[in-house]
């Protein structure tokens, strides 16, 4: 039952004519968006997450050092293939992307700081897009630095020419960066749909990027790693000369037929597919963010 305890005139005495607001002088949406980008990047640096990631990323380097110390006869090309083209893109990059992308919005929601973003003059779609962009910056930086370190660990002291190794390293970094961007955009989108992004991400990584990607069938075309491998296979050589025989490490491990090179998806197409897929995931995520509301827990709500 509603009661009106004072007349309207009583209330009006407290009111005054409100002049409708105009945009705040000196303010700009671009400044707000840039600030959000910087804030997100700083959050990544201040959390312990980057430390965990750095340790995780140091594993390949540590592994290379260990192998070289205990089995110096292993040729660098084998080490490079096993670590930089198998371990990192198939296991490490999905984990890194998952850990960062899963928290794009959810971390702010759980720490109850999302409110401070939702009440600023920043469109909701931009909140997601900008935070995703900052996440991509962090993950690409980490991937670039640690891939380069892995190559240093593999080739330092070897007979390979510095120019050749540098070129291979740059190509590998480009491939890894493409992969981590695609993973981040995909996992970011998943994180907007479910609270169990980590579970979904791990299951996805194992089934799609682990099992399906290694099947010599067309179904592997739906995996990120297939396109990365296609790029690498057409761009670089993974030949190992053993007892006078050239062994193609990649063809065997990735189930590629060297005789069907002409029928493989071209490098340009692979890059386009990965870039377009990433963009599509990012746009869908931004649109979802623009439409949905986020429940930030309040003490009262708890």
Task: Provide the binding-site residues for other proteins, judged by CB under 8 A.
Answer: 1-6, 10-12, 14-18, 20-21, 23-24, 26-29, 31-32, 35-36, 38-39, 43, 46, 111-113, 115-124, 290, 293-301
**CB of residue 233 to other proteins, shortest distance in Å:** 44
**CB of residue 27 to other proteins, shortest distance in Å:** 3
- 229, two tokens: 């491998």
Beta bridge partners, 239, equal 248
Phi then psi dihedrals of residue 240, to 5 deg:
-125, 120
Comparing C-alpha atoms, which of 41, 137, 129, 56 is closest to residue 94? 56
- Closer Cβ to other proteins, 48 or 259, answer by number: 48
**CB of residue 13 to other proteins, shortest distance in Å:** 9
CB 208 within 8 Å of CB 90: no
CB 228 within 8 Å of CB 254: no
- Closer Cβ to other proteins, 245 or 291, answer by number: 291
**CB of residue 3 to other proteins, shortest distance in Å:** 4
- Closer Cβ to other proteins, 122 or 277, answer by number: 122
- Closer Cβ to other proteins, 5 or 69, answer by number: 5
Beta bridge partners, 296, equal none
How far, CA to CA in Å, does 49 sit from each of 41, 43, 81, 152, 223?
Answer: 12, 10, 28, 25, 26
**CB of residue 192 to other proteins, shortest distance in Å:** 16
Which DSSP string do the residues of 160-191 spell out, in sequence order?
A: S-HHHHHHHHHHHHHHHHHHHHHHHHHHHHHH
**CB of residue 24 to other proteins, shortest distance in Å:** 5
- Closer Cβ to other proteins, 114 or 185, answer by number: 114
- Closer Cβ to other proteins, 117 or 185, answer by number: 117
Beta bridge partners, 245, equal 242
């Amino acid at each position: 039952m509603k009661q009106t305890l004072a007349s309207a005139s009583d209330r009006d005495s407290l009111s005054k004519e409100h002049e409708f607001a105009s945009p705040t002088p000196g303010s700009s949406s671009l400044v707000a968006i840039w600030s959000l980008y910087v804030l997100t990047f700083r959050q990544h640096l201040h959390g312990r997450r980057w430390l965990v990631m750095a340790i995780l990323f140091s594993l390949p380097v540590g592994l290379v050092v260990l192998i070289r110390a205990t089995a110096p006869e292993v040729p660098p090309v084998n080490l490079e293939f096993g670590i930089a083209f198998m371990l990192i893109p198939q296991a490490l990059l999905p984990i890194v992307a998952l850990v960062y992308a899963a928290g794009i919005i959810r971390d702010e929601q759980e720490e109850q700081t999302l409110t401070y973003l939702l009440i600023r003059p920043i469109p909701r779609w931009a909140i997601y897009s900008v935070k995703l962009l900052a996440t991509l910056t962090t993950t690409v930086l980490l991937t670039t630095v640690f891939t380069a370190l892995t190559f240093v660990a593999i080739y330092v002291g070897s007979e390979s020419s510095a120019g050749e190794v540098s070129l291979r390293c740059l190509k590998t970094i480009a491939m890894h960066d493409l992969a981590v961007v695609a993973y981040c955009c995909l996992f970011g989108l998943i994180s907007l749909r479910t609270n169990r992004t980590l579970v979904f991400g791990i299951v996805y990584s194992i089934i799609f990027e682990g099992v399906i990607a290694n099947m010599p069938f067309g179904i592997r075309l739906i995996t990120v790693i297939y396109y990365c491998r296609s790029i690498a296979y057409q761009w670089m050589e993974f030949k190992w000369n053993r007892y006078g025989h050239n062994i193609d490490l990649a063809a065997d491990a990735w189930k590629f037929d060297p005789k069907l090179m002409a029928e493989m998806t071209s490098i340009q197409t692979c890059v386009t597919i990965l870039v377009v897929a990433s963009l599509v995931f990012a746009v869908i995520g931004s649109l979802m963010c623009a439409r949905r509301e986020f429940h930030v827990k309040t003490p009262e709500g708890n």
